């Protein structure tokens, strides 16, 4: 751009600001990427790491919790028998319903830490949300 180019303009009434960004959008491999002007640092957002096994387990956990709360099943043993699963597995997966809502959202968005895998979450995760966040932050 020429040296006199304006990157920001204020409207005559002073109520809106228009910002001009020197960038180019290109499609590569089916994804749109932003090409920064020469001499500037490239920036690419982190790709989400979707863990389908963990998401499936979360969905199961909340479905099972709902079944227990509505009285469809009186105990975890009945639920496990109906699902043809080991009651210990069902109990462990049900613990996912105790996760901090922010951690659940991060998992669904693919933003969980590297330590946020199913086995690590169902074994020994603290009940307190603050401790869960600390543990997940240190296991990156």
For 19-55, what is each residue's pLDDT tens digit?
887 777 676 666 766 667 776 776 666 677 788 888 9
Q: Cα separation of 77 and 81, whole Å?
A: 6
Please state, as a whole number, how many other Cβ atoms lie within 10 Å of the Cβ of residue 115: 13
For 5-36, the DSSP string reads --SEEE-TTSS-EEE----EEEEETTEEEEEP
Q: Which of 108, 101, 116 is nearest to 55 (CA)?
A: 108
pLDDT tens by residue, 109-124: 888 776 667 777 777 7
């Amino acid at each position: 751009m020429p040296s006199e180019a304006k990157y920001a303009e204020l409207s005559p009434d002073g109520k809106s600001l228009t910002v001009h960004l020197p960038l180019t959008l290109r499609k590569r491999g089916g994804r749109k990427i932003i090409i920064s002007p020469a001499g500037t640092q490239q920036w690419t957002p982190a790709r989400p790491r979707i863990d389908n096994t963990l998401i499936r387990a979360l969905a199961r956990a909340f479905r099972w919790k709902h079944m227990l709360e509505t009285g469809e099943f009186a105990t975890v043993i009945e639920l496990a028998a109906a699902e043809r699963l080991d009651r210990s597995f069902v109990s462990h997966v049900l613990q996912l319903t105790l996760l901090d809502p922010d951690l659940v959202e991060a998992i669904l968005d693919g933003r969980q830490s590297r330590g946020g895998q199913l086995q690590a979450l169902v074994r020994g995760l603290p009940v307190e949300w603050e401790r869960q966040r600390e543990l997940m932050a240190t296991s990156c």
